[in-house]
Structure 1
Amino acid sequence: MADVSDAGAHPGEAAELQRERDRAEEREAAVRDVVQTIARTTFDLDAVLQTVIDRAVRLCHADTGNIARRDGDKDEYRIAAFTSMTPEYERLVRERLYKPERGSIVGRTLLEKRIVHIGDVLEDPQYALPDLQRLAGYRTALGVPMMREGVPIGAIAVARNQVRPFDAMEIRLIETFADFAVIAIENVRLFQTVERQRTELAQFAPHVANLLSTGDGEQLLAGHRREITALFCDLRGFTSFSETAEPEEVFSILREYHTAAGEVVSANEGTIEHFAGDGLMAFFNDPVEIDDHELAAVRTAATLAERFTTLAADWRKRGYDLGLGIGIATGYATLGRIGFEGRYEYGAIGNAVILASRLSDAAAPGEILLSQRTDASLEGRIATDPVPVLRLKGFTRPVVAMRLVELSG
C-alpha cells in the first residue's frame, strides 16, 4: 500500500522514493547490526571489524574492501578485515605492511588524516601498487581514516572495479562505519586494560581485582580512609645469602617464601600490597571489611611463622640459614589504587603502615612484634610478653611493643 505522501507523485518519482526508502532501511539495519555486534563483543575485535567491512562494501555497492589497523606502537598498519577478495589478492594484502605514504589508498589516508577519494587509480600519478590493481581490477577507491583523539589508528578502504566515484551519502556512511570501528577498537583496548589490571592486582589482592568492575569498587580504588591492621615481614640473613648463592637459588628460595606467604594472607582475607625482594607487606580490613582484622593479622603471622619453620629446616639442609621477622600495627590509613595504566597496585599509606614496617625491622628471627594498639584490641585472646621500649627510625618517641607468645584458642 502506497504511503499517503506519495499519492500525488508521478509513478517514476514514487518508484524512486520507494528505492530511497528501501536504501534508508537497509542502512539503518546495517548500522543496527554493527552496533549490536559491538555491544555483545568484548575481545573478539576481528568479528566486529569483519561485520563493519561486510556492511560497508554491500551498502556502498563496492566490489572490495578492507580495514587496516595499527600494528603495535609503531606507525605501521596491517589489514585486519577484508571482503570480496580473491585468495591471491588476500594473501598479498595481508602480507603488506602499510605506512603513511602516498602510494596506496590506505597509506595516503593515514598520511593525510582525512578522506581520500581516487576517481581512477590508473590516472593517479602517485598510486604505486600496479600489481595489486591488476590482480584485483579496482579503479575507483575511497579511504576513510579511523581517528582517536586526532591520531589515526587505522583506515577503511573500499573500491569499485569500474570508474564510478562514491557519492556524498556513501562517503558519509563509510565515515560512520569508521567511527564504529574506532569504538570497537577502543572498547577492546579498555577491556584488555581492565583485565590486565585485574590480573596484576589479583597477584597481590584477589578481593581488589573483583572491585574493578563495580561502581563501589571504583570509589574505593580512588582513595579512602579506613582502620586497618598492617603486617610486614622480611627474611633475616637474606643479604649474606644472596651475596653467596647462585641467582637461580635465590629466586627459588624467594618463590617458596612468597608462595607460602601469599597463601596464608589470602586464606585470612588479607590484601598483599607488595613483595619487595625478601620483604612482604599485607593489610587486613580493606578493601573488604572483616570482623577482628587485628586477630586475622596475628593469626596470619602465627601461621606464616609455623610454615616458615618447615621451609627454613629444608633450606638449612641446603646450607642456607634464614630467619623471619614480623611486625604488626593497627591504625587508620589512606588506601587506594597506586601506579599507572598497565601497572597498578592497591596500596595503604599511614602511620600504622610505617610502624608495622619498623617493628618488622626490629623483630629478631622467629619473632612477631605487635604494636600497643594491636595488642590492646586482642586482650584475652592472645598471649604476649613486653619487650624493651624500642627506638625506631622515623618515630621521635620510644615505641611500646609486645612479643606474640601464642594465640589463646
Structure 2
Amino acid sequence: MAEFKRPGDDTAGSERVRSAPESEQGRLAQVEQQLRATSDILDVLTRGASGTASRDDVFGAIVENARRLLDADVAQIFLVQGDTYVLGRSSGLSPEYLDFAAQHPIARDRGTLVGRVTLDRAVQQIDDVLADPEYVRSDYQRLGGFRSIMGAPMIVGEQVVGSLNVWRNEVAPFDEGAKTLLTTFAGQAALAVRHVELVAALESRSAELARKVDQLEALAEVGQAISSTLVPDEVLRTIVSHAVELSGTDGGSLMEFDETSGLFGVRTVYGTSPDVVQALREARIHIDHTWVGRAARERTVLQIADLGAEPALLDP
C-alpha cells in the first residue's frame, strides 16, 4: 500500500518550501499584486519628487511591499556608511533587534549577505545561514532567527549605496520570481537615495547662490559708501558691518597699525559691546606679541577656534 503523505510532509522539521501558485488564476493574482505594489511605490516616489514625501516614506513602502509579496518574515534596507552598513528601514523586526542593529553596524566584508551583495553588486541568496561557514554574524542570526535570506544591491550610477534584504525564519529559499521582484524593489530604493542626493545638491547650490548675491550686494553698498562720502570712518564702518554679517559672526573690529610704536589701535567696530571696545582700546596689541600681529606679519587669515585654549601671544 502506498504511503499517504499530507502536504508539507516531505520537509524536515519546521522547514518548508514556498512556491508560486501553480494555477493560472493564482499567477494572475500575483501579477496584479506586484503591479499594485509597484504603483504604490511609484506614487510615493512621485510625491517625494514634489516634496510631499520623504526618502523614509519611500523606504517604508518598499519594505512593506517586499515583505508581503515575497512571503518573507522580514524586509530591511541597509545603507552604506563609510566602512559599515547601517539599518535604514525595516518591516517585521522586533524592538530588541532594532536596538541591537543600531548599536552594532555591519562591517563591509563577505561575512554577511549584505556584504556579499554590495561587494559583488549582484543579487545573492543564502539558503540556510546556519549551513554557511562564511557567515559570521551569528549574533544577528540568534536575535532575528532567520534561516533563508536574499538581498539585492541598491545602485546609483556606478555606486552601490545599500542593499534590500528579505529573510524567512525557516529554510525556504526564494525562487527566481522573487529574485526578479526584489531587484525591482531595490532599484526603486536606489531612486529614492538618488532623489535625496539631488535635492541636497540643489539646496547646497541655492544656498551658495544666495551667499554670492549677499556678497555682491555688500560690495555694492561698500562701493556706494566710498563714492558718496569723504568720511573714512563711515566707509570703514560699512566694511566691518558687512564682514560681520556675511561671516555669520557676533562682532568685529578694524584696527589701524602704527609703525612707530608697533601697536594696533581700534579704528571702528560693529556688534561689539562698549566694555569689549574699551578693553581693546586699553590693550597693547603689539605686532610681535599678539595673534593680530601674527596675522599681519604673515599676511594671511588666522582663525582661533578657542582663544582661551591657545597659548598666549602677549607682551611680557
TM-score (norm 1): 0.49
The one of 55, 58, 63 equivalent to 2:73 is 63
Q: 4+ residue runs of structure 1 moved beyond 3 angstroms? A: 263-266, 300-309, 311-319
Post-superposition shift, 1:60?
Answer: 0.3
For residues 304 and 164 of structure 1, the distance between their equivalents in structure 2, rounded to whole angstroms, comes to 80
Could you say which residue in structure 2 is the equivalent of 1:252? Answer: none
Post-superposition shift, 1:24?
Answer: 0.9
Asked whether the equivalents of residues 141 and 160 of structure 1 are also in contact (C-alpha less than 8 Å), the reply is yes
For each residue in 1:160-216, what CA deviation from the matched residue of structure 2 results, as whole angstroms up to 9, or x when unmatched? 01111111111100000111111111111011101100101111127xxxxxxxxxx
Could you say which residue in structure 2 is the equivalent of 1:36? Answer: 43
- Please tell me the residue identity of whatever aligns with 2:234: T
Asked whether the equivalents of residues 226 and 235 of structure 2 are also in contact (C-alpha less than 8 Å), the reply is no
Q: SS where residue 23 of structure 2 aligns? A: helix
Could you say which residue in structure 2 is the equivalent of 1:319? Answer: 266
Q: SS where residue 68 of structure 1 aligns? A: strand
Could you say which residue in structure 2 is the equivalent of 1:119? Answer: 127
Change (3 A) 1:304 1:169: farther
Could you say which residue in structure 1 is the equivalent of 2:310? Answer: none
Asked whether the equivalents of residues 146 and 154 of structure 1 are also in contact (C-alpha less than 8 Å), the reply is yes
For residues 255 and 195 of structure 2, the distance between their equivalents in structure 1, rounded to whole angstroms, comes to 52
Length, aligned pairs only? 221
Asked whether the equivalents of residues 118 and 142 of structure 1 are also in contact (C-alpha less than 8 Å), the reply is yes
- Residue 224 (structure 2) pairs with residue 302 (structure 1): yes
- Residue 217 (structure 2) pairs with residue 262 (structure 1): yes
Structure 2 matches for 1:162-241, cutoff 5 A? Answer: 162-205=170-213
Cα RMSD (Å): 2.9
Could you say which residue in structure 2 is the equivalent of 1:139? Answer: 147
Could you say which residue in structure 2 is the equivalent of 1:246? Answer: none
Could you say which residue in structure 1 is the equivalent of 2:278? Answer: none
Post-superposition shift, 1:321?
Answer: 8.0
Asked whether the equivalents of residues 225 and 234 of structure 2 are also in contact (C-alpha less than 8 Å), the reply is no
Could you say which residue in structure 1 is the equivalent of 2:169? Answer: 161
Post-superposition shift, 1:32?
Answer: 0.7
Post-superposition shift, 1:40?
Answer: 0.9
For residues 64 and 210 of structure 2, the distance between their equivalents in structure 1, rounded to whole angstroms, comes to 39
Asked whether the equivalents of residues 99 and 110 of structure 1 are also in contact (C-alpha less than 8 Å), the reply is no
Q: SS where residue 93 of structure 2 aligns? A: coil
The one of 103, 111, 130 equivalent to 1:95 is 103
- Please tell me the residue identity of whatever aligns with 1:61: D
Change (3 A) 1:313 1:110: closer
Could you say which residue in structure 2 is the equivalent of 1:53? Answer: 63
Could you say which residue in structure 2 is the equivalent of 1:253? Answer: none
For residues 155 and 84 of structure 2, the distance between their equivalents in structure 1, rounded to whole angstroms, comes to 15
Which stretches in structure 1 are left out of the alignment for 5+ residues?
A: 1-13, 207-257, 267-299, 323-409
Asked whether the equivalents of residues 41 and 58 of structure 2 are also in contact (C-alpha less than 8 Å), the reply is yes
- Please tell me the residue identity of whatever aligns with 2:217: G
Which stretches in structure 2 are left out of the alignment for 5+ residues?
A: 1-20, 239-253, 257-264, 270-316
Change (3 A) 1:131 1:312: closer
For each residue in 1:58-93, what CA deviation from the matched residue of structure 2 results, as whole angstroms up to 9, or x when unmatched? 11010012111122xx34321111110111111112
Which is strand-richer, 1 or 2?
A: 1
For residues 26 and 237 of structure 2, the distance between their equivalents in structure 1, rounded to whole angstroms, comes to 85
Determine what percentage of the aligned residue pairs are the same residue. 27
Change (3 A) 1:316 1:81: closer
Could you say which residue in structure 2 is the equivalent of 1:237? Answer: none
Asked whether the equivalents of residues 138 and 162 of structure 1 are also in contact (C-alpha less than 8 Å), the reply is yes
Asked whether the equivalents of residues 100 and 109 of structure 1 are also in contact (C-alpha less than 8 Å), the reply is no
Post-superposition shift, 1:140?
Answer: 0.3
Post-superposition shift, 1:313?
Answer: 6.4
Could you say which residue in structure 2 is the equivalent of 1:19? Answer: 26
Could you say which residue in structure 1 is the equivalent of 2:246? Answer: none
Could you say which residue in structure 1 is the equivalent of 2:18? Answer: none
